[in-house]
Chain A
Amino acid sequence: MREVFLKELREMFRDKRVRSTAFLGPIILIFGLLFLLSTVIGNLAKPQSVKVHLLESTPSAWVKRFEAEKYQVQFVKSEPEGRKLITDGKARTLVIFDAPGSGKVLKVRVLFDESEQLGQIGKERILGVFRAVNEKKLAGYLKGQNVTPEMVSEIVPEAVNIGVTKDKGAGEFLVGFLPYLIVIWAFYGGMSSASDLVAGEKERSTLETLLISPVSRTQIVLGKIFALGVICFLSSLSSLVGLGLFVGVRPPGSEMMLNKGLGINGSTVVLAIALLIPLVLMMASLLILISSYAKNAREAQTYLSLGSFVVIMPAMFSQFIGLTEFGKAAWVDYVPVLNVANHLRLALLSKPDFAGAGVAIVVNLVLALLAGWIAVRMFHKETIITRA
């Protein structure tokens, strides 16, 4: 088994496809994705980046008001012109000040396109400007009547965060994103190698040479599973390198994503590794099983692409589990992929659940053994050669 393991590792490390997809890919992808997100978030957070279109007839006091609020003010001659700019996607909002009605109330219309996200964001911000004006005017009126705002308020609510994550643990974004990255690359990192390891060997007829050697088929399968498990594990860690690179570079806007740091300490790392090892063994066993079934590398790639959905679905759900009541449900510990992602999430929140993590580790180990056992059985069948 050791010889097969070392040979497979050597071959995989020499394979440009493995180096690019399993190691370099996650680093570039994660860094690029986070860089892009931080740029978008940074831009959205800047008031001066929001454009507003006004009619040329807009009272100058309101024009100055928008400019004071750091809006990029642009003018249109008429309402139809403004409407056209919005429907063409060239303007986010058009603010129209209508003539005051009988009650002397200034009527303002904010035109926007609901199908455009930037239009919706712009509309909310502009309505906020007007709300602030109204509140200021109300406060001034109450002050004239010797009444404080508290005197006319029935309830003064205050939200107080007493969670342990107030000062430690990762920010919301990382809590949702990091576990997803770790589990997803544990699978994708091994995909390109898996098709080569058995189906590719069938196709190139090297498998028969191997089967004619005195090494038992069980040893061959186990050697391949462990070698692929190492690749899956390293690929998973590569996604963290991409994250580390992002944290190191800290592009504009990243401070909003990293406002609470990474939430990683010694026990988080130990727990993460303890969770990851059974997960990558399960992934590697599953990948080898699929590859053993396929006739050739191309067929294996097709099955592996389909199989990836089984991993993606729970992995994606793990991003949103914090928005549901399932985060601490016992059944989650029994769902592979989701259980690891969820316990990584809890660890990042500085709320590790060691008992639940133990269940997750056992569940994934059992599944790894099951998939490995089926792969071994498949290797002992004659179809491993005759189906090629």
Chain B
Amino acid sequence: MVIAKELTKEFSGGKLAVSNVSFTARPGEIFGLLGVNGAGKTTTLRMLSTVLTPTAGSATVQGFDVEKEPTKVRESIGFLSTSTALYGRLSGKEVLQYFGRLYGMSSDKIKERIEIVESLLKLGEFWNRNCDSYSTGQKQRVSIARTILHDPPVLFFDEPTAGLDIVSAQTVMEFIESCKAAGKTVIFSTHIMSEVERLCDHIAVIHDGKLVADGRTEDIRAGRRLEEAFLDLVGYKKELTHA
């Protein structure tokens, strides 16, 4: 479970990236974090993953405080985005072994988990080659494997399908659905409404660093298309008309 209470992040220079954001993401559900580019989604996820320290407010991941127990928090999470790249001069298998050791896993445990993720994501056909030679889809499959190697109870996905082709994006979506089925707590940050409608049970909308909506997906839609509801929430007004 992930609980954020009045999370706030102000960067040096006075830029308020996130202001008083509170929400709860529960196990066995996919929690959608929606917002336009620059709304504060990535900053929120970075605070929850202990990369950034909140200026105010608090958050817990699996009961561990992000500021007081950052190592415990990091052990409990897996983080995936399209920008979290791999090491080009290592093979996919070596990347997994490396991260397994970083997560303090024993050699036997690493071997066991690698066999599981290898068969789950069908990595065997290419993963002995260096990551530099992978297609975008292959890279994403290895990244997913890295994210779940230590079998974390909480998973963060920060725009995981951005820039992917339809087949690779489908792999990611199916994987996220499988995480829900496995009872994981999933926080899924995106601005692609079709993905949210397919995946998310619960959504929070962030705009200009502030939480403007938080509720079940059906409640937020309120009978409309999610895209229309989202545009209303972020205060979009039609500006261009045809001549």
A interface residues with partner B (beta carbon < 8 Å): 3-4, 7, 10-11, 14-15, 204-206, 208-216, 382, 385-386
Contacts and interface: CB of A to CB of B under 8 A. Distances in A.
A216 B71 contact: yes
B89 A205 contact: no
Contact of B99 (A211, A213, A382): A213
Interface of B: 11, 46, 49-53, 71, 74-75, 77, 79, 81, 83-90, 94, 98-99, 101-104, 130, 146
A334 B88 CA distance: 41
Contacts of A4: 102
Contacts of A386: 11, 52
A209 B146 contact: yes
A7 B101 CA distance: 11
Contact of A211 (B11, B51, B88): B51
Nearest to A4: B102
Contacts of A11: 87, 89-90
B86 to A, nearest CB: 7
Contacts of A385: 46, 51-52
B101 A214 contact: no
A266 B83 CA distance: 52
Given A3-B98, A11-B89, A14-B89, A212 B74 contact: yes
Given A11-B90, A208-B51, A385-B51, A214 B103 contact: yes
B79 to A, nearest CB: 5
B90 A3 contact: no
Contact residues of A: prevailing secondary structure: helix
B102 A213 contact: yes
Given A11-B90, A206-B85, A209-B84, A214 B79 contact: no
A119 B101 CA distance: 68
Given A205-B83, A209-B84, A214 B71 contact: yes
Given A204-B85, A214-B71, A216-B71, A3 B52 contact: no
Nearest to A11: B89
A3 B84 CA distance: 19
Contact of A3 (B51, B79, B102): B102
A214 B86 contact: no
A15 B88 CA distance: 10
Contacts of B50: 212
A386 to B, nearest CB: 7
Contacts of A209: 79, 84-85, 146
Nearest to A15: B89
B152 to A, nearest CB: 10
Contacts of B103: 213-214
B106 to A, nearest CB: 13
B88 to A, nearest CB: 8
Contacts of A10: 89-90, 94
A213 B149 CA distance: 12
19 contacts: A4-B102, A7-B90, A11-B89, A14-B89, A204-B85, A205-B84, A206-B85, A206-B87, A208-B51, A208-B83, A211-B51, A212-B50, A213-B74, A214-B74, A214-B75, A382-B51, A382-B52, A386-B11, A386-B52
Nearest to B102: A213
A11 B90 CA distance: 7
Nearest to A213: B102
A11 B131 CA distance: 12
Contacts of A213: 74, 99, 102-103
A208 to B, nearest CB: 6
Nearest to B73: A214
Nearest to A388: B83
A210 B90 CA distance: 15
A289 to B, nearest CB: 20
Given A205-B84, A209-B146, A385-B46, A215 B89 contact: no
A141 to B, nearest CB: 81
Contacts of A382: 11, 51-53
Contacts of B81: 205
Nearest to A8: B87
* A4, A209, A211, A215: most-surrounded residue (chain B CB, <10 A): A209
A7 B90 CA distance: 9
A388 to B, nearest CB: 10
Contacts of B101: 3
